[in-house]
Amino acid sequence: DSGVTQTPKHLITATGQRVTLRCSPRSGDLSVYWYQQSLDQGLQFLIQYYNGEERAKGNILERFSAQQFPDLHSELNLSSLELGDSALYFCASSLRTGAFFSGANVLTFGAGSRLTVL
């Protein structure tokens, strides 16, 4: 158990639908990152939050959005789903943004949420 909890583990839905993926970071970690792993695109960074604020955006579609709540858990919302959105979505957390304490600032990944769009 990495300490990063993602729910649900598996999700099957239809095109056009909307889903929410949830992530609870490791205790004490302030930064949350979302990654997508698909056969076509490989592993790619989507978005980062630090202590409730968006810090960085990657290749995240406009149909996707995320937020981090005061208790530091994060949700990734995927809407108007398409077949190509089928993927494994990872959440990772780290102690703080930046690498000032790089010895402790390791990204720890959750087990992922597997989304299948039919």
Name the site residues for other proteins (rule: CB under 8 A). Answer: 2, 31, 33, 35, 42-45, 48, 55-56, 58, 88, 90, 92, 94, 97-99, 102, 105-109, 111-112, 114
Taking the complex as a whole, the smallest distance from the CB of residue 80 to other proteins amounts, in Å, to 26
Taking the complex as a whole, the smallest distance from the CB of residue 44 to other proteins amounts, in Å, to 7
User: Could you tell me the maximum CA-CA distance found in the chain, to the nearest angstrom?
Assistant: 44
And the tokens for 4? 């990063």
Residue carrying the six token digits 């909890």: 5
Taking the least distance from each CB to other proteins, the nearer of 65 and 97 is 97
3-state class (DSSP) for residue 83: helix
Query: Rounded CA gap, 55 and 35, in Å?
Result: 14
Taking the least distance from each CB to other proteins, the nearer of 16 and 28 is 28
Taking the least distance from each CB to other proteins, the nearer of 33 and 64 is 33
Other CB atoms within a 10 A radius of the CB of residue 11 amount to 17
